[in-house]
């Protein structure tokens, strides 16, 4: 019997995706270019219908047509070499899905390359990590609608389900799926950094101990901040180190790693002229965290402000909660603005209402808050900025004082709060009807004759300034 789908790449994600498919009545062929991972999966296949192949040709021939192949290998040249190895064995109409974190420009190039061979290519954004891959990730497929229709029964089945709806919808042509996944990761960077800054304020400025902070996060997870990231932060803070008995967080080195998708989001927003300052600050915060030795040395040379008075814990815990929520609104506003603007630029017709819904399950940024985002775009699909939706406009109006207080107090205390303060700057910049960019235009015209527009009539103007 021919298998209904094949999976190539049996690392952390691939093996779990294969098992997920097999546990939902798919008959799955698997292949990895080195043998060990295949053997290891077969030793732990949970009795599911997973069938190993050790040659690409045999693997491809084992699949029902049109062949559906889900590739889950390291992003970059590995996916190109997998594609090259598949092309001689595939036929017109067969479908390759790339579930890795490929850059959407690479996906567009591969799509065009495979179109020439009559092979369909779907760039599939997958979010959810190891557990999500096994139990149900959020899935963001981009390619032709026709190809998606053929794989939709499988993808929607293996995706996370929220209220009976799969966290998988067709995103758009070519690289659109991988683009949406990329910006999702950028939003994730900002969300994580905002939480880290709230933690710092609670710990450093309010002097709460780790267990107390865990309780604060757990209580926040009962309200409008309810989300996977808040929930796991409470869990993380309760975990003790087996060796020392200390909170594990206190023995984890403060140097953040990254795999590049947050950076791509920032670079793309810069290329496309879109302000994604909060996401980019989150990236820079990771870069600054990485220079640990320099920071340790600088701490002995560069002084901060005098110690300040003790703060009322209950009052400030609520202020931090509000500041965090408002920072989160601003960060998501930037991410969704990047979706809207890029959708117009690339003619993708992204449906922001649906994108918010698929993030509700399986993925790292899943949160109740996404329902409200989806409703905002459902009511007004051309909404220029999330903060302008009535619900969020009211919320930021209510919470801005708390954000200002937390940012000001952080600053006066010498506590870095890059994403919280950038959220406030973004909010204040965005709501400024008359900005100071007239000074910039005048300077540009003064030194470079770059011309300027006037407020009172159409046209392009230049002044002889001297
Ligand atoms: P792993 O490192 O666990 O697995 C990588 C897989 O790629 C292995 O099967 C590896 O085989 C294979 N591979 C590497 N190089 C080649 C090559 N040149 N030719 C063929 N196969 C190759 O990574 P993950 O499973 O974590 O990630 C896979 C993809 O999924 C990546 O693009 C990643 O960014 C993305 N992703 C990961 C998530 C996560 O939480 N881990 C979440 C969402 C997406 P071998 O070991 O034999 O070399």
Domains and CATH numbers, the chain: 5-174 (3.40.50.720), 181-430 (1.10.1040.10)
Catalytic residue chosen out of the listed positions 68, 181, 328, 395: 181
The annotation status of 121 as a binding-site residue, yes or no, is: no
174 is known as an active-site residue: no
Structure tokens at 42: 């077969």
Q: What pLDDT shows up at residue 310? A: 97
Q: Does the CB atom of residue 182 touch ligand 1 within 6 A?
A: no
Q: Is residue 258 over pLDDT 90? A: no
By alpha-carbon position, which residue is closest to atom 13 of ligand 1? 73
The pLDDT tens digits for 307-361 are 999 999 999 999 999 999 999 999 999 999 999 999 999 999 999 999 999 999 9
The annotation status of 286 as a binding-site residue, yes or no, is: yes
CB 413 within 8 A of CB 406: no
Q: Is residue 45 over pLDDT 90? A: no
Q: What pLDDT shows up at residue 1? A: 87
Mean pLDDT value across residues 20-30: 97
Q: Is residue 303 over pLDDT 90? A: yes
Q: What pLDDT shows up at residue 155? A: 98
The annotation status of 128 as a binding-site residue, yes or no, is: yes
* Nearest Cα residue to 359 out of 348, 349, 372: 372
Q: Is residue 46 over pLDDT 90? A: no
188 is known as an active-site residue: yes
Would you list the DSSP string of 193-249?
A: HHHHHHHHIIIIIS---HHHHHHHHHHHTTTTT-BHHHHHHHHHHHPBPTTT-SBGG
Q: Does the CB atom of residue 422 touch ligand 1 within 6 A?
A: no
What per-residue string of b and e applies to 379-407 under the rule 16 or more CB within 10 Å gives b?
eeeebebbbebeebbebbeebbebbbbbb
pLDDT-derived band at 239, boundaries 50, 70, 90:
very high
pLDDT-derived band at 206, boundaries 50, 70, 90:
very high
Query: What order do you get walking across the sheet with 28-31 strand by strand?
Result: 50-53, 28-31, 5-8, 68-71, 95-98, 120-127, 138-142
CB 365 within 8 A of CB 328: no
Tell which one of 7, 13, 80 to mutate to probe ligand 1, the residue whose CB is within 8 A of the most ligand atoms.
13
Q: What pLDDT shows up at residue 234? A: 98
Mean pLDDT value across residues 215-239: 97
Three-state SS at 367: strand
Distance from residue 70's CA to the centre of ligand 1 (Å): 12
Residue percentage of the chain with pLDDT more than 70: 100
Q: Is residue 259 over pLDDT 90? A: no
Catalytic residue chosen out of the listed positions 120, 188, 197, 409: 188
Least confident of 82-91, 255-264, 430-439: 255-264
Tell which one of 6, 7, 8, 9 to mutate to probe ligand 1, the residue whose CB is within 8 A of the most ligand atoms.
9
Distance from residue 42's CA to the centre of ligand 1 (Å): 18
pTM, two decimals, is: 0.96
The annotation status of 35 as a binding-site residue, yes or no, is: no
């Amino acid at each position: 019997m021919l298998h209904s789908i094949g999976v190539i790449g049996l690392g952390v994600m691939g093996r779990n995706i294969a098992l997920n498919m097999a546990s939902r009545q798919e008959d799955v062929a698997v292949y990895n270019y080195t043998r060990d991972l295949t053997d290891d999966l077969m030793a732990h296949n949970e009795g599911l219908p997973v069938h190993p192949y050790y040659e690409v040709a045999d693997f491809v021939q084992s699949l029902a047509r049109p062949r559906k192949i889900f590739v889950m290998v390291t992003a970059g040249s590995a996916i190109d070499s997998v594609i090259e190895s598949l092309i001689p064995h595939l036929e017109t109409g067969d479908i390759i899905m790339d579930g890795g974190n490929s850059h959407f420009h690479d996906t567009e190039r591969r799509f065009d390359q495979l179109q020439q061979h009559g092979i369909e290519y779907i760039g599939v954004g997958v979010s959810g990590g190891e557990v999500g891959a096994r139990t149900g990730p959020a899935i963001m497929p981009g390619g032709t609608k026709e190809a998606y229709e053929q794989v939709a029964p499988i993808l929607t089945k293996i995706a996370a389900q929220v209220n009976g709806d799969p966290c998988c919808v067709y995103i758009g042509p070519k690289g659109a799926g991988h683009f949406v996944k990329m910006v999702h990761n950028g939003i994730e960077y900002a969300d994580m950094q905002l939480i880290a800054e709230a933690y710092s304020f609670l710990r450093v400025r309010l002097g709460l101990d780790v267990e107390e902070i865990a309780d604060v996060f757990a209580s926040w997870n009962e309200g409008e901040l309810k989300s996977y990231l808040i929930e796991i932060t409470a869990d993380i803070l309760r975990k003790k180190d087996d060796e020392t008995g200390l909170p594990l967080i206190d023995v984890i080195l403060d140097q953040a790693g990254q795999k590049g998708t947050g950076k791509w989001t920032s670079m793309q927003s810069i290329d496309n002229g879109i302000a994604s300052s909060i996401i980019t600050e989150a990236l820079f915060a990771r870069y600054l965290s990485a220079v640990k030795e320099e920071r340790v040395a600088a701490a002995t040379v560069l002084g901060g402000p005098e110690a300040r008075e003790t703060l009322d814990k209950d009052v400030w815990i609520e202020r931090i909660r509000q500041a965090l929520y408002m920072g989160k609104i601003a960060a998501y506003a930037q991410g969704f603005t990047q979706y809207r603007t890029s959708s117009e630029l690339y003619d993708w017709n992204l449906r922001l209402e649906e994108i918010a819904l698929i993030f509700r399950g399986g993925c790292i940024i899943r949160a109740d808050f996404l329902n409200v985002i989806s409703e905002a775009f459902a009511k007004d699909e051309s909404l220029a900025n999330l903060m302008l939706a009535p619900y969020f406009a009211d919320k930021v109006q209510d919470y801005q004082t708390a954000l200002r207080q937390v940012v000001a107090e952080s600053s006066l205390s010498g506590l870095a709060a890059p994403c919280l303060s950038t959220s406030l700057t973004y909010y204040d910049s965005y709501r400024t009807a008359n900005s100071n960019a007239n000074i910039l235009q005048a300077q540009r015209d003064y030194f470079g004759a770059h011309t300027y527009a006037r407020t009172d009539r159409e046209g392009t103007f230049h002044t002889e300034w001297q």
